[in-house]
Structure 1
């Protein structure tokens, strides 16, 4: 799937060309999918409803065209470079505005670099989208190690700190000596760790899902907004966290099932977009672009191992001293109270919990609102 050969310190163009045989194999597997009995409830409380999954699988087998997204990505331009022994895939889109602000955009699970496709244009070329030249960015969007077209680690140790250090090398290698980092989900964790490491050039960090939500800095006598956030965390723990337990304890075992079954891989990911976003927020093509990326790259196990790595770290509050911004989208799994952000981030320059729409996949679901949040944050931390 790659053009060129990776060399240490080289940044080489990357071209996607999934073999026809891989697409034929996918269609053949989909033609003989074996599904379980229907759920015994009238909603999604037992998982993805069989009616919805069957509809998605039928379209994947007969109507979906992977080559469409493949052509689009190849037209945009992608690259790979080897850092710390691992080839890292990334998109790099420069703005027409030469003095644009470099911006690192970081995804999580079950997302990918594809989550940011709809914001790339507005961020890099604001004039073409009704904005101002001062709000232009050069964007760098890497695939996490073990995700998409980045190499999968073959040894343990690729935890958020190591990924953060690798991304700092990436930005230096691209010639950026002053830049911002933004992330949600795992991307928020890695952006936070970059903020802790303070690599040369990193000016500020923006998150839409802070790392501290895993262990929030709660007051001895929680304020009402803290109590509400804790209740949301309980809902996640008791309703939505089955995948989390499996991926942080047995990523290899679940990886066998998802790598062998396209129906299993589809259901595993589709559930999250049904539960964590507004109803029908995404088209079937958008969902299948992302599911197909996981399937065609065979990264079910390697992407899950990040949970296993993180579970072996001491859990504590990562406090930051550099400028930080937080955007709280209204339908996030846990809505961050400002008081928690103030306790963790000693130089909180931007905080907004009054956003009209959006949930966990903010850039993917609400690209215009997400882009506006990034612009407002960048203005708040401008030198």
Structure 2
């Protein structure tokens, strides 16, 4: 793989021009052709696919046919066109995208992705946020780093890259880019890093937006205020996810190296591992492509494959097991709940941790990957949410 850059020196932020060698793409296609397939699932049928045991064999085979004809260069060009760079913080090369707004009144904003995701999520909304085309809408200078061990940066060679350390690294990255004060946003692990920034650097973080405002759940659901019937339904959905949907998390939190061996050697395994979550965590009626396109699925999986970060990204779970969801977020905050997300947190609970909550909204559509699923709606939610916060 070719990454054309100078080695970052000191506090330098070096431009990165990515060009994956054709041999790596040929190797991917060769591995796909040589896949040893298992038997089909024992549930469902050809006309009624059933995902309860994982991605159905017929759908996965069809997706691999599409993958053999897939154009990675399109994604590569998009990354290269959005301020792709690398900078070394605390001994680790961090990969990031950076788009400056043409607007003189734009505010800096750092957006952090989660798992199984990448900077392709914020990439889908960066241009609209940087240059909304309407002078009455807020504009942002957008920074989108890859989490440690994700994307085309370095992979940690020792333990210690926790959410707190990542938040501190983000603060340093923003300083190097010339942003002393900024907003922060994200979901999944990105929400935890965002909260960490607010807790550890409240003098620099003007406000935050989260669509997964994680916190320590109270023993009594009504401890912070009586919940509405829809909010009780959210908690039922959350409990279903905790009991039926967290096997991946337990494995990555306890045996990330084992995950790495499997997913780094088999592109179909990598595809199935990610696709399972894209299907389960997005807003659709049974067809995942109602929520994220086939191309978007392959974009994400190919990035994981070519960057060889299956194991190092899984290790982020190990480093943060159990996640630290303590500490009050005292900076001005905004929250959007997306209806198909896996952990929808009731407002009274959110207010117990996000003590200066200025905006709490429930979107009409979307799940755990709103930047990919409903990019226009997500950009609008950021504008409304952050627009409600002081600078």
With normalisation by structure 2, the TM-score equals 0.93
- CA distance in structure 2 between the aligned counterparts of 1:181 and 1:316, rounded to whole angstroms: 17
8 Å Cα contact 2:185-2:208 kept in structure 1: yes
Q: Secondary structure at the match of 1:16?
A: strand
1:229-240 maps to which residues of 2 (within 5 A)? 229-240=234-245
What is the CA distance between 1:364 and its match in structure 2? Answer: 1.1
* Superimposed CA distance per residue, residues 53-112 of structure 1 (whole angstroms, 9 cap, x where no aligned partner): 111111112x10111111222122311111111111111001110220111010000000
Match of 1:302 in 2: 312
1:70-81 maps to which residues of 2 (within 5 A)? 70-81=76-87
- CA distance in structure 2 between the aligned counterparts of 1:209 and 1:150, rounded to whole angstroms: 25
- CA distance in structure 2 between the aligned counterparts of 1:199 and 1:318, rounded to whole angstroms: 12
Correspondent of 1:16 among 18, 40, 50: 18
* Superimposed CA distance per residue, residues 293-350 of structure 1 (whole angstroms, 9 cap, x where no aligned partner): 100111001000111111156x553321111111001111122211111111111111
Match of 1:262 in 2: 267
- CA distance in structure 2 between the aligned counterparts of 1:261 and 1:110, rounded to whole angstroms: 17
- CA distance in structure 2 between the aligned counterparts of 1:269 and 1:27, rounded to whole angstroms: 18
Q: Secondary structure at the match of 1:211?
A: coil
What is the CA distance between 1:230 and its match in structure 2? Answer: 2.6
What is the CA distance between 1:4 and its match in structure 2? Answer: 1.7
Match of 2:47 in 1: none
- CA distance in structure 2 between the aligned counterparts of 1:339 and 1:144, rounded to whole angstroms: 30
1:19-168 maps to which residues of 2 (within 5 A)? 19-42=21-44, 43-61=50-68, 63-127=69-133, 131-168=134-171
8 Å Cα contact 1:157-1:309 kept in structure 2: yes
Match of 1:367 in 2: 375
Correspondent of 1:245 among 246, 250, 270: 250
Q: Secondary structure at the match of 2:154?
A: coil
With normalisation by structure 1, the TM-score equals 0.94
Q: 1:52 to 1:74 in 2, by over 3 A?
A: same
Q: 1:179 to 1:250 in 2, by over 3 A?
A: same
What is the CA distance between 1:220 and its match in structure 2? Answer: 5.8
- CA distance in structure 2 between the aligned counterparts of 1:163 and 1:198, rounded to whole angstroms: 12
Correspondent of 1:191 among 182, 191, 194: 194
Question: What number of residue pairs does the alignment pair up?
Answer: 375
The CA RMSD measured in Å over matched residues stands at 1.5
Q: Secondary structure at the match of 2:196?
A: helix
- Match status 1:273 vs 2:278: yes
Match of 1:211 in 2: 214
- Match status 1:337 vs 2:342: no
* Superimposed CA distance per residue, residues 136-178 of structure 1 (whole angstroms, 9 cap, x where no aligned partner): 1110000011001121111101010000000000111111122
* Superimposed CA distance per residue, residues 189-231 of structure 1 (whole angstroms, 9 cap, x where no aligned partner): 110111110254211111001122xx32353646345532331
Match of 1:290 in 2: 300
- CA distance in structure 2 between the aligned counterparts of 1:363 and 1:132, rounded to whole angstroms: 23
8 Å Cα contact 2:338-2:365 kept in structure 1: yes
Gaps spanning 5+ residues in structure 2: where? 45-49
8 Å Cα contact 1:123-1:136 kept in structure 2: yes
- CA distance in structure 1 between the aligned counterparts of 2:57 and 2:378, rounded to whole angstroms: 32
8 Å Cα contact 1:217-1:317 kept in structure 2: no
- CA distance in structure 1 between the aligned counterparts of 2:137 and 2:267, rounded to whole angstroms: 45
- CA distance in structure 2 between the aligned counterparts of 1:93 and 1:133, rounded to whole angstroms: 20
- CA distance in structure 1 between the aligned counterparts of 2:55 and 2:138, rounded to whole angstroms: 40
Q: Secondary structure at the match of 1:311?
A: coil
Q: 1:51 to 1:220 in 2, by over 3 A?
A: closer
8 Å Cα contact 2:238-2:342 kept in structure 1: yes
Q: Runs of at least 4 residues of structure 1 off by over 6 A?
A: none
8 Å Cα contact 1:217-1:344 kept in structure 2: no
- CA distance in structure 2 between the aligned counterparts of 1:251 and 1:68, rounded to whole angstroms: 31
Gaps spanning 5+ residues in structure 1: where? none
